Structure 1
Amino acid sequence: MTTMAEVARLAGVSTTTVSHVLNKTRRVAPETEELVRQTVARTGYRHNLAARALATQSTDTIGVAMSVATNPYFAELFRCIDRLLRRAGYTIVLADTNDDPVVEVDVINHLLARRASGLIVNPLEGNAELVGCLRGLLDDGFPLLLLDRRSTLPGDQVYSECVDSTYQLTAHLATQGHRRIGFVQGNLTTMSAHDRLEGYRKAVAELGLDDDPRLVIAGESDERIAEQRVVAHLATADEPTTALVVSNNQMTLGTMRAIRHRQLKVPRDIALVCYDDFEWADLCDPQITAMAQDVDALAATAVDLLLARIEAPDRPPQAVTVPTEFHHRDSCGCGRRRRQGTAR
């Protein structure tokens, strides 16, 4: 097992410097911090804050690490979790990750240093240091719940159904005669983005839709990037894209701005559906057809699993998929009918 001293030797710094970087107890030069982090990731060193937290564990604090400031969906999810955990007698400490894996590692260590009894984390899969940190917590038997994004890690996790949900959105547009359907793709550092892309590709293949790689637009789960790239797509496409499936709420806002920038009208010129309903979707004109995640069910299942893990640390891990709900409105171009259904 790699030690802190070995990390220091390989990085060419002192053990004290490694400790300061990992514990955030003193500022070090940015280039030194990055060198230490790269060495930690390369060696697989596990900073054993989890064992320390377990040994001196508080019994009434749960840490939550997720990106709430930039995404209203996560803010609502946190509010539900907070209400349920407070009802169960726990104090909640929230640390915003800004969807940055380096920040996420830092805030996890901060929460552990505060002797959290358990953690709820919104994981990013595409960073070796973060994956190593989460795997280390699981190996140490620390109560950890992975929420919202499916993970390849062998721990308790709760996430919304993504593949069939995105298939249904794409198929719904196909029933209206659309064959050239674009897909605004999220950041592939998350398994959820992969799953939604899989659902879209499955619909394209099974329904005989235009299979053109240019129809997949890399929105990176970012409102501004999605806006810029949808504008570019609509401006340069040699064949018109007649409908769009957008794979999260932030990118939907960017996509709507891009459509307006191109002086197009939804759904007259281009139909639009999205994964992730949002609070003001029915206030837009036209109202946005969306696949909604069940925030209450996600929060309740996550809290139940985490508290069960705290009570019974050795039980087998569980992965729970929560169904979504189809909110049929106007942006898909079907008129003002209202239908609802679930994707499991």
Structure 2
Amino acid sequence: MTTTTMAEVARLAGVSTTTVSHVLNKTRKVAPETEQLVWRAVADTGYRHNLAARALATQSTDTIGLAMSVVTNPYFGELVRDVDRLLRRAGFTMILADTNDDPSVEADVIDHLLARRVSGLIVSPLEGDGELTDSLRRLLDDDFPLLFLDRRSTLQADQVFSECVGSIYHLTAHLAAQGHRRIGYVQGSQAAMSGRDRLTGYRKAVSDLGLDHDPQLIIAGESNERITEQRVAEHLTASDDPATALVVSNNQMTLGTLRALQRLRLKVPRDIAMVCYDDFEWADLFDPRITATAQDAATLASTAVDLLLSRIKNPDRPPLAVSVPTTFRHRDSCGCGRRKYKGAAR
């Protein structure tokens, strides 16, 4: 593999090697425009490969980088707090970088974290972006301590994620047990494998249970609250045969769905039933209370930290993929009431 030098980065950015060094090592303030040129050249030349090698050679900072979209999903806030607490207990400091669920931003913040000589990285990976995937693959090829959290990846790496396929299947089957045949699915972003796994669970339930198989029942919410509000409202007003129940595949889109139903003055579950993947702390304060699948943030965090610290100590061990079970929290929005429900929680 060809090794990129700092001089090549400097030549592409049109600056001196000293300036590149100052940007990477944070040893002197550099104009924002110049810093942007340097980081762009780092990305274009693949210099992050060298950053990883340098970080491995100078692991004395006892810091762990966490690259994750925190702002876009309140569930991530709980997960980040648990990871931070466990790392501090183990003697590490966590540096958090928000990726905004954007592959180019994720690649950029990984470079920044490597430049800070972190001892390891925890990343919530976005699949489907070639540049980001290549960057992550290079880190793994360099044996850099890297763990994927929350989202599954096809790359051979340590990874910890919530079970998705069976959980969405269970939510869909629960609505089917109440007599619903036209069950809509509010689909999240397909850039993450977790989004694709959840869609697989819905489609499997539709097929196995003989539910209405209609492409119009899949509503592309794109993991965005405002887009979800618009598209759920469009489905319920424009379709000749709209869904009678909805499975919403993350809590951010649950809020968008509730906004759409409120705008249309539809009552849950009287007019339409609803369940969601991703419980959240206000779900039992709504009227009706939201039936949801809860992810186990504490177990996700503890498993992730244990695996990453194990990787740092034993870089040659085979990678492990851990699927963490979810919990079905039965409330009222599904329309059956607690007393009528006979199923077992996951």
Q: CA deviation at 1:60?
A: 1.7
> Is the contact made by 2:49 and 2:142 (CA closer than 8 Å) also made in structure 1?
no
2:206 alignment counterpart:
204
Amino acid at match of 1:208: G
Pairing 1:128-147 to 2, within 5 Å after superposition: 128-147=130-149
1:158 alignment counterpart:
160
| 1:59-111 CA-partner distances (Å, limit 9, x unpaired) | 52111111112321000001111111111111111111111111111211111
Q: CA deviation at 1:114?
A: 1.1
- Figure out how many residues of one structure are paired with residues of the other and give that number: 338
Amino acid at match of 1:118: G
> Is the contact made by 2:251 and 2:279 (CA closer than 8 Å) also made in structure 1?
yes
Amino acid at match of 1:57: Q
Distance (Å, rounded) in 2 between the aligned partners of 1:34 and 1:59:
22
Q: CA deviation at 1:58?
A: 2.0
Secondary structure at the residue paired with 1:282? coil
Amino acid at match of 2:104: V
Deviates more, 1:179-188 or 1:100-109: 100-109
Structure 1 pair 3–331 and aligned structure 2 pair: CA distance change class (3 A): same
Distance (Å, rounded) in 2 between the aligned partners of 1:2 and 1:307:
30
2:303 alignment counterpart:
301
Q: CA deviation at 1:284?
A: 0.4
> Is the contact made by 1:326 and 1:339 (CA closer than 8 Å) also made in structure 2?
no
1:193 alignment counterpart:
195
Distance (Å, rounded) in 2 between the aligned partners of 1:278 and 1:102:
29
1:219 corresponds to 2:240: no
Q: Alignment partner for residue 274 of structure 1, among 276, 299, 312?
A: 276
Distance (Å, rounded) in 1 between the aligned partners of 2:187 and 2:35:
32
Structure 1 pair 84–34 and aligned structure 2 pair: CA distance change class (3 A): closer
Q: CA deviation at 1:19?
A: 5.9
Q: CA deviation at 1:336?
A: 3.6
2:172 alignment counterpart:
170
Distance (Å, rounded) in 2 between the aligned partners of 1:4 and 1:62:
25
2:261 alignment counterpart:
259
> Is the contact made by 2:42 and 2:48 (CA closer than 8 Å) also made in structure 1?
no
| Unaligned residue ranges in structure 1 (runs of 5+) | none
Secondary structure at the residue paired with 2:108? helix
> Is the contact made by 1:327 and 1:339 (CA closer than 8 Å) also made in structure 2?
no
Distance (Å, rounded) in 1 between the aligned partners of 2:153 and 2:16:
34
1:183 corresponds to 2:185: yes
Secondary structure at the residue paired with 1:48? helix
> Is the contact made by 1:219 and 1:226 (CA closer than 8 Å) also made in structure 2?
yes
Distance (Å, rounded) in 2 between the aligned partners of 1:137 and 1:313:
13
Distance (Å, rounded) in 1 between the aligned partners of 2:116 and 2:39:
24
1:248 alignment counterpart:
250
> Is the contact made by 2:43 and 2:108 (CA closer than 8 Å) also made in structure 1?
no
| 1:13-32 CA-partner distances (Å, limit 9, x unpaired) | 65869969x95965449997
Amino acid at match of 1:224: R
1:323 alignment counterpart:
325
> Is the contact made by 2:183 and 2:247 (CA closer than 8 Å) also made in structure 1?
yes
TM-score of the pair, normalised by structure 2 = 0.89
Secondary structure at the residue paired with 2:160? strand
> Is the contact made by 1:145 and 1:155 (CA closer than 8 Å) also made in structure 2?
yes
Structure 1 pair 4–26 and aligned structure 2 pair: CA distance change class (3 A): farther
Distance (Å, rounded) in 1 between the aligned partners of 2:235 and 2:242:
10
> Is the contact made by 2:64 and 2:93 (CA closer than 8 Å) also made in structure 1?
yes
Distance (Å, rounded) in 2 between the aligned partners of 1:74 and 1:339:
32
Structure 1 pair 283–119 and aligned structure 2 pair: CA distance change class (3 A): same
1:107 alignment counterpart:
109
Distance (Å, rounded) in 1 between the aligned partners of 2:254 and 2:343:
20
Structure 1 pair 271–55 and aligned structure 2 pair: CA distance change class (3 A): same
Q: CA deviation at 1:341?
A: 4.7
Secondary structure at the residue paired with 2:59? coil
Q: State the superposition RMSD in angstroms.
A: 2.8
Q: CA deviation at 1:218?
A: 0.7
Amino acid at match of 1:75: G
Structure 1 pair 15–340 and aligned structure 2 pair: CA distance change class (3 A): farther
Deviates more, 1:159-168 or 1:130-139: 130-139
Secondary structure at the residue paired with 2:284? helix
> Is the contact made by 1:184 and 1:219 (CA closer than 8 Å) also made in structure 2?
yes
Q: CA deviation at 1:217?
A: 0.7
Secondary structure at the residue paired with 1:281? coil
| 1:222-271 CA-partner distances (Å, limit 9, x unpaired) | 11111111111111111131000000000000001011111111000100
Distance (Å, rounded) in 1 between the aligned partners of 2:85 and 2:13:
45
Distance (Å, rounded) in 1 between the aligned partners of 2:31 and 2:51:
17
Structure 1 pair 216–102 and aligned structure 2 pair: CA distance change class (3 A): same
